[in-house]
């Protein structure tokens, strides 16, 4: 968890843009429109990297569960828990961002910083 970047020009609608940053493809809106606000840019990039990681995770889970037969059906019963975990993660990211902080996710946040 890190504080907001000092010296970035705050946007008048920063909270809305941070919220959009964690709503999958809507993260493109703040990424393309708020180029002067470094904090919003960070959250938008972080949201896009999180989206790609989640898509990759769901594809891998679908591939792994498919050939497991009856065990795959049983394992599929736990996928709503994974979706709930993702929802909680997004809410935590939004709340931290609105409060001027960052939720650092090991690996993903480092990757998002490279852009």
The per-residue pLDDT for range 21-78, each reduced to its tens digit, is 888 888 888 888 888 888 888 889 989 999 999 999 889 888 887 787 778 778 778 8
The single residue listed with the structure tokens 């843009």 is 17
Within-domain flag for 21: yes
Find the domain containing 16 and state its range.
2-109
Within-domain flag for 114: no
Work out the number of other CB atoms within 10 angstroms of the CB of residue 7: 6
* Number of structural domains found in the chain: 1
Within-domain flag for 95: yes
94 touches 19 (CB < 8 A):
yes
The per-residue pLDDT for range 4-35, each reduced to its tens digit, is 555 455 656 888 888 888 888 888 888 888 88
Within-domain flag for 115: no
């Amino acid at each position: 968890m890190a504080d907001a970047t000092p010296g970035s020009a705050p946007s008048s609608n920063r909270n809305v843009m941070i919220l959009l940053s964690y709503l999958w493809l809507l993260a493109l809106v703040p990424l393309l429109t708020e180029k002067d606000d470094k904090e919003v840019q960070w959250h938008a990039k972080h949201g896009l990297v999180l989206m790609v990681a989640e898509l990759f995770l769901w594809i891998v889970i679908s591939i792994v569960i498919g050939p497991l037969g009856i065990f795959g059906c049983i394992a599929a019963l736990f996928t709503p828990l994974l979706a709930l975990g993702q929802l909680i993660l997004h809410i935590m990211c939004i709340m931290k961002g609105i409060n001027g902080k960052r939720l650092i996710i090991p690996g993903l946040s480092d990757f998002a910083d490279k852009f």
